[in-house]
Amino acid sequence: MVVLRLIGRLFIALALFTMVAGITIWLLGIDIMTQFGQLWYDTDIGSINMAQTIVQRHLRIPAFWDSVIVPYLLLRPAWKAMIVLFIVFLVLGGLLLRLGRRRRRRARRSRYE
């Protein structure tokens, strides 16, 4: 249960980091209508290649990269992709926190009270 709460908190932190990064990109005057994949490529080509390698080879789910990440993140405008990432991380974090919460014990009541 502690592990689920820890991972949930990490996802919440990722969601907040994504929100701050999106606002920072906007405040710096970077064109937020640029495709997210192009923005990521221009910022750090090595990390996008590493992410693709991890998903396709190490996790062994190449269809996830081609059918989910590319159309729903990399081909969208940067502002839309940041919102999608924020929502996904926030929902995953909330679900993991909910699953990892401590169960409350109910006090037993006697029948004769």
The size of the chain, in residues, is: 113
For 77, the 3-state DSSP assignment is: strand
Tens of pLDDT, residues 43-83: 999 999 999 999 999 999 999 999 999 999 999 999 999 99
Predicted confidence (pLDDT) at residue 108 exceeds the cutoff of 80: no
Specify the pTM. Answer: 0.82
Closest CA to 103 of 5, 30, 12, 36: 5
